[in-house]
Structures are given as structure tokens and as C-alpha cells.
A and B are shown apart, each in its own frame.
Chain A
Amino acid sequence: MTRAIIVAHGLGGSSDLPVPYAFSVIGAAWALTFTFALVALAWKRPRFDPANPARPLPAAVTTFVDSRVIRGVAAVATLAFTGWVLLAGVCGPQTQSNALLGVFYVLLWVGLVAISLLLGPVWRVISPMRTVYLLLQRITPERLAKPRLTYPESWGYRPAAVGLFAFVWMELASPNPAALPWVKTWLLIYAVVMLGGAWLCGQSWFARADPFGVYSMAVSRICPFRRDSKTQRIAIGNPFDHLLSLPIRPGIVAVLAVLLGSTAFDSFSSSATWRNFADDLARSIHAVPVSVSLSALRTIGMLVFIAVVATTFSLAARATGGIDREQRRALPGRLAHSLIPIVVGYIFAHYLSYLVERGQQAVFALADPLGKGWNLLGPGHLHIAYVLSLHPTVLAVIKVTSVVTGHIVAVIAAHDKALRLLPSGHQLTGQLTMMLVMVSYTFTGLYLLFSA
């Protein structure tokens, strides 16, 4: 019986020191001051628009990125890498040091955010399941390969929200996130659902239902690179314009709420408050093993956090006067893009050291997938450089700065969109609740960084 909270994220080792109290307070003060200065003083006419011009990069960049060869090479290379990781997972040492765990929990979950933020929605190109699907489609007769259904658009991104929840459940709430059989089962189910859905609905299944694809797509909306809306050329532009191009489909708020709520729960569940509560309650239930009741408690706790984010955001978006019922119902989706910076800022604050330091560990493990003392490409003699852990003050500054920056970007985006959405006369009052909710997310985030 291994304890999930202890084997944090299935990888063991220590976690970050709490952020000093003063840092959190200063961050919170900045967030609060900026928010109300913005509401009171900023522009009164919407300024951001996805159709705003962006500065095009040289045509060669677009040609390179759109080249079938380059895309094919990227897809096949990722597929080969996936095969390598699965080889480690299946044939390698069945311990916590298996390369599969590091790749799954660090390189995939956190690395995908970093790369999507820098380069755009890359998962669309490199998704191994999509590559497998395209390869299978080539070798099966056309009668079988053709999609037989159109994707039900009313589902929107809901399947992806469920998939993201399944991931965070595995990482943060399952009885043992380090259990390789569980991780392999998770991946098998993921593969079956992706291929089965694509067999039925074609490629639109990947765009709507692949949790990693939707995650990558949402994060990529604050990437400075985008395609010019007219020429399709790759250009560099204002991320505030780019944010507005987030597709509004059912379930988009749920996707973002899963990401933000689960990350907050991860902090909270390592606090002594939660551990005392969960330990006492789990041990008072005698019908099931303690690890099962602890897992159930964490599942409930995580669902509560996600539900609180989704509910507060939706209510705050709707809290305005001067519009009819139909318009009010559409508001949470139309403001959902403004939640992305908060999600990304908080995920960076929470997982940055994890990406930088555990990421190295994962790469080193990949050099010896079978535990036979191999040292492919030679990283074996290197040691993990604990660049962030060794400088906790720097790490704390980075964490608070990324939470506060995410907050500031979010309130600017929400303010600008509110000017476009809300009727005149309600533009100031109509965005107040949203500003208060965002301030409360940021305060909670900073509090959790300092207390856990």
C-alpha cells in the first residue's frame, strides 16, 4: 500500500518550499490595486480584436511550418519517441524510476504547456494517436476508413474536459499515481477512446475530444505567434488579440475549471489541514481499505475545487444588467478566454520547478529505458541541476510574478471583452463581479503557494 500524496505526483522526492508570506502579500496587493485601477481608469472602448493586424514573419517560416515533410517528420519522430517511452513502461524496471512516469507526469503534462505557450498548438501536429490514425487510414480499405458520423457539435469540448479530469484524477487522486499498471491502463483507455472516436467521427474527434489537444490549443491562445486571419501567414502579434480567437464551444469553461481547480487542489491537498482531515475521516471508515477511502476523499475534494471554479466563473460572467436571458447564458463561454492567463500563470507557478528539475530526471531515465545501465546519447554521467530548488527566493519571486502576471493579463482581457459584450450603462457594474472573482482566484492561489 503506497500513499499517493506522499509519492507526490508519482515521482517521489521533495516538493517546493512555501513562498514567504511577505511575497504573497505583496503579490496580492499588486493584483488588487491593478484590477481596480484598470476598471476605474482604463480604456472605455474595446481595443482587442483577432482581426487586428499582426506583423508577418518571413514567408519562409510559413512555408517551413506548413511543409508536409516537416509535419510528417515531427509526427513520426514523436511517434517513435512514444514507442521508446512505452518500451520503457512495458519492459523496463517496474519501479518509481521508470521513464514512463516522468514522461507522463512531467514532459507531457507540464512540457505541453510550455511548448504550446512558446510555439502554438503543436499537439495537433505531433499527437501520436493522430499519427497512428492517419497511418491506419492509409492501409485500410476506403470503405472502412471513412468516418461514419459527424461529430455532435453540441458535445463541444466536454469529452476533453472528461479526459483532462481523468488525467488529474490519475495524478492527484488515484490510490497510487506511481503504479505503472494503472498508468498503462490509463494510456490504453486513452488510445482506445481516441482511435475509436476518430474511427467514428474522423479527425474532428481529435480536435474536440483529445484532452491534450484541447489543453494545447487553449494555452496556445496566449502565444505571440498566430496566423494572420486573412493571409494565413504566420505572424507575431498582440497575445490579447490572439486570446479572443479561442473557439467558444460547450464545455470550454469546464476544461479551464478542471485545469485551475485541480492545480489548486494539488496545493491544498499537501497542507497539514487537509491531511489531518483526510487521515481522520479515512480511518473512521472501516468498510474499505484506507488507501481507497483516501482516494475517494481526494476525488471528492478535487471535484469540489473544480465545481467552485466553474460555478463562480459562470455566475460572475452572468452577473450584469441590461441583457436578456439568451445573451446572459452565452456570457460565460464568451468570457472563457480571459481565464486562460490565470490558468497558465498558476500552472507555471505550481509546476515550474517540477518541469525544470523532474524533467531532467525524466530525460536521464529515457537514456536507460530498460534499467540495463545503458547510456544513450550520454546524459548518464550528468547530475540533476537543482537550479530552482537551490535558490528558493528566486523561485518564490518567479512564482508570485507568474501568478500576478496571469491575473493582470486576465483582467485586461476580461475588461476589454466586457466593453464589447455588455450594454452601455452596465459596463462598469457588469464587470465588477468578474473582477472580484478573479481577485479571489489570485488570492487563493497566492495563499496556497504560501501555506502549502
Chain B
Amino acid sequence: MRAAAAVSSTRVLLAALVGVIALALAGCGGASKPASGAGLTIDITIAHGQVTPANATLQATVRQPITLHVTSDATDELHVHSVPDHKFEVAATANQTFQFSVDVPGSVDVELHHLDRTVATIHVHP
């Protein structure tokens, strides 16, 4: 009997704790948001098998236009791993632009397919 009472009090304590944590966390939902409005532009340079930037971290919001401004000395493919996803053919010329936007929040990788590098990870916030 004593054991049962003790067990149930443990359970109550646990449930209360989980509730408190959830409340405490929900309270600080106002995390800083990236500025929206103007689009995000990423300048990408591919030269001699190297890409700049590489593994960059950027911030954006959903449905914000994101522009990739590419100068390359080789053909390649840019894959944007987002929802919906996008693929762009990169030619070996200067000043190509590709534009897209993302509908579902998440961390979106922009990858150069043949060079096998991640250009940037874009954190797309709601």
C-alpha cells in the first residue's frame, strides 16, 4: 500500500515537472526573427574546383525570395533541399541568377552536386 502511494506520488511529481517545463519553454517563444521583406542574395563563386562560400549558415523566412548569384568556371548543378525542392543548371559563365522561395520552415541545404560541397545551410523561419 505504502509502495503504491509512493509510486503514484512519483508519477504526480513527474507529470507536474513535465508540465512546468513545457510551460516555461512555451513562455519564451518570442525568439528573435530574421528581418523579412527584402530578399536574401547569396553570391556564389566556383573557380578551380573550389566554391565560396562553403558550409555557410544563413537566415531567411518562408516565401521570402532567395537569389543565388553564381559565377562559375565549370558546369554543375545546384540542389536546394527544401519543400518544395529546386534544381538549377549552372553553366560555366559569370553572373547567372536563380531565384526560389521555400514554403515550409526548416534547415535548407544548398548543395553543388558535382563538386559535392554544401554552399550554405539556410535556416528558413516561419
Contact = CB atoms under 8 A, between A and B. Distances in A.
A20 interface: yes
Contact of B81 (A8, A290, A397): A8
Interface in B11-39: 11, 14, 17-18, 21-22, 24-26, 28-29, 31
Contacts of B25: 23, 26-27, 396-397, 400-401
Contact of B28 (A5, A16, A23): A23
B92 interface: no
B29 A6 contact: no
A275 B118 contact: yes
A7 B124 CA distance: 18
A35 to B, nearest CB: 12
B43 to A, nearest CB: 18
Contact of B6 (A5, A27, A47, A276): A47
Nearest to A278: B55
Interface stretch (A317-325, A367-375, A386-394, A426-434): A386-394
B47 interface: no
A327 interface: no
B79 interface: yes
B75 interface: no
Contacts of A290: 116
B55 A238 contact: no
A272 B116 CA distance: 15
B81 A6 contact: yes
Contacts, number: 123
Interface majority SS (helix, strand, loop, mixed), chain B:
mixed
B83 A386 contact: yes
A343 B4 CA distance: 27
Range of interface residues on B (Cβ < 8 Å): 35 or more
Contacts of B54: 276, 279
A276 B55 contact: yes
B17 A30 contact: yes
A285 to B, nearest CB: 14
Interface stretch (A146-154, A161-169, A196-204, A404-412): A404-412
A412 B10 contact: yes
Contacts of A155: none
Interface in A1-52: 1-3, 5-8, 12-18, 20, 22-23, 26-27, 30, 34, 43, 47, 52
B45 interface: no
A12 B11 CA distance: 40
Given A3-B116, A14-B81, A401-B18, A26 B107 contact: no
B12 to A, nearest CB: 13
B17 A20 contact: no
A442 to B, nearest CB: 13
B121 A272 contact: yes
A131 interface: no
A52 B116 CA distance: 57
Given A275-B118, A279-B55, A396-B25, A14 B83 contact: yes
B28 A392 contact: no
Report which residue of A2, A6, A270, A389 has the largest number of chain B beta carbons within 10 angstroms of its beta carbon: A6
A406 to B, nearest CB: 11
Contacts of B65: none
B3 A6 contact: no
A400 B123 contact: no
B106 A14 contact: yes
Interface of A: 1-3, 5-8, 12-18, 20, 22-23, 26-27, 30, 34, 43, 47, 52-53, 238, 240, 270, 272, 275-276, 279, 290-291, 384, 386, 389-393, 396-397, 400-401, 404-405, 408-409, 412
Nearest first, the 10 A-B pairs at minimum CB distance are A14-B106, A20-B31, A272-B55, A397-B25, A6-B111, A393-B29, A275-B55, A14-B108, A386-B104, A15-B107
Interface of B: 3-4, 6-7, 10-11, 14, 17-18, 21-22, 24-26, 28-29, 31, 54-57, 79, 81-83, 85, 102, 104-109, 111, 113-114, 116-118, 121, 123-126
Given A8-B109, A397-B25, 11 more contacts: A1-B116, A16-B106, A18-B107, A30-B21, A47-B3, A270-B121, A275-B55, A279-B55, A393-B26, A397-B22, A405-B18
